[in-house]
């Protein structure tokens, strides 16, 4: 019965199981996890590699042990990956490579992504999100560029003409966009006009755009238009990408993670 329950687990649920077992036992092994989750040891090795690369554990011969010092713990890692935004962040990790230049704007999903970056990552990050500055400052390999302008206290972001002009000086590989609302017909929308304008500038100056959105924001819209839905390259939510609600987005050419 137990093995059957886990037979078709999505990757994120396996991550949760591995981390919870590690928390309880202080060590996990490939063979034991393979049996528990009814997947191959190669699958477990890949899962352990992904978690190790994101600073969530330390890989050892035959398994893994807890990471003893993580300066960027998110909410003290309580309920590891039970938070939907941590699942989103972990999926987003698969698109990040050392050496990239990345735009990151406002929102708690972006904050969570920053908190789960690999500790040895090397990036240039350009942001208007003041909440992520202390976290990014802890990464020795991250060059941080903070946009200047008007501080919008409601969202802890910097917006306005000066920020837009700064964005125009860069060409980013990726743009991780925090999303307020997302709808097939209305597109991506924002709560504040200044935020919508800055998002538009980042979209124009990035090679790939990735919307980070919890599932509950789908089929909703806000006051200020950012872009048509087809402008996005990727959409990442906490849900399984095979969910039927994503079909229209996929037909529009968006890759769903």
C-alpha distances (whole Å) from 135 to each of 39, 66, 112, 114, 120 are: 35, 21, 10, 7, 14
95 vs 121: CA distance, rounded Å? 13
- Single out the residue of 45, 28, 44, 33 nearest to residue 3, CA to CA: 33
Domains 2-66 and 84-256 alike in fold: no
Angle at 215 between CA 127 and CA 112, to 5 degrees: 35
Strand order across the beta sheet in which 187-190 lies: 181-183, 187-190, 224-227
Has residue 221 got a pLDDT over 90?
Answer: no
The CATH code that applies to domain 2-66 is 1.10.10.10
Has residue 4 got a pLDDT over 80?
Answer: no
pLDDT of residue 71: 35
Confidence band, pLDDT 50/70/90 cuts, at residue 172: very high
**What percent of the chain clears pLDDT 90, i.e. is strictly above it?**
43
Rounded mean pLDDT, 238-249? 88
Pairwise pLDDT comparison (61 vs 114), residue with the higher score: 114
Domain ranges of the chain: 2-66, 84-256
pTM: 0.68
For residue range 131-169, list pLDDT tens digits in order: 899 989 889 999 999 999 999 887 889 999 999 999 999
Has residue 235 got a pLDDT over 90?
Answer: yes
Confidence band, pLDDT 50/70/90 cuts, at residue 67: low
**What percent of the chain clears pLDDT 70, i.e. is strictly above it?**
89
Mean pLDDT of the chain: 85
Confidence band, pLDDT 50/70/90 cuts, at residue 69: very low
Question: What's the CATH number of domain 84-256, 3.40.50.10470, 3.40.190.10, 1.20.1250.20, 3.30.420.130?
Answer: 3.40.50.10470
- Looking at residue 129, the DSSP 8-state letter turns out to be B
């Amino acid at each position: 019965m137990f093995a059957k329950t886990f037979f078709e687990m999505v990757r994120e649920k396996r991550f949760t199981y591995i981390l919870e077992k590690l928390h309880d036992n202080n060590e996990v092994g490939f063979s034991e996890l393979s049996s528990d989750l009814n997947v191959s040891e190669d699958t477990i090795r890949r899962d352990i590699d992904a978690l190790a690369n994101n600073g969530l554990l330390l890989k050892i011969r035959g398994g893994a042990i807890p990471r003893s010092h993580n300066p960027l713990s998110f909410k003290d890692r309580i309920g590891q990956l039970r938070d939907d935004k941590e699942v989103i962040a972990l999926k987003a990790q698969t698109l990040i490579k050392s050496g990239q230049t990345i735009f990151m704007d406002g929102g708690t999903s972006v904050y969570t992504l920053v908190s789960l970056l690999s500790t040895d990552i090397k990036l240039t990050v350009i942001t208007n999100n003041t909440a992520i500055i202390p976290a990014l400052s802890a990464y020795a390999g991250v060059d941080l560029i903070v946009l200047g302008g008007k501080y919008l206290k409601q969202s802890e972001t910097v917006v306005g003409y000066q920020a837009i002009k700064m964005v125009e000086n860069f060409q980013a590989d990726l743009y991780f966009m925090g999303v307020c609302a997302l709808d097939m017909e209305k597109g991506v929308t924002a709560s504040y006009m200044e935020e919508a304008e800055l998002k538009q500038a980042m979209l124009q100056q990035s090679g790939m755009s990735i919307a980070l959105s919890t599932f509950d924001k789908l089929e909703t819209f806000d006051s200020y238009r950012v872009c048509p839905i087809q402008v996005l390259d990727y959409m990442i939510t906490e849900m399984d990408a095979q969910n039927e609600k994503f079909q229209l987005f996929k037909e529009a050419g968006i890759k769903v993670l």
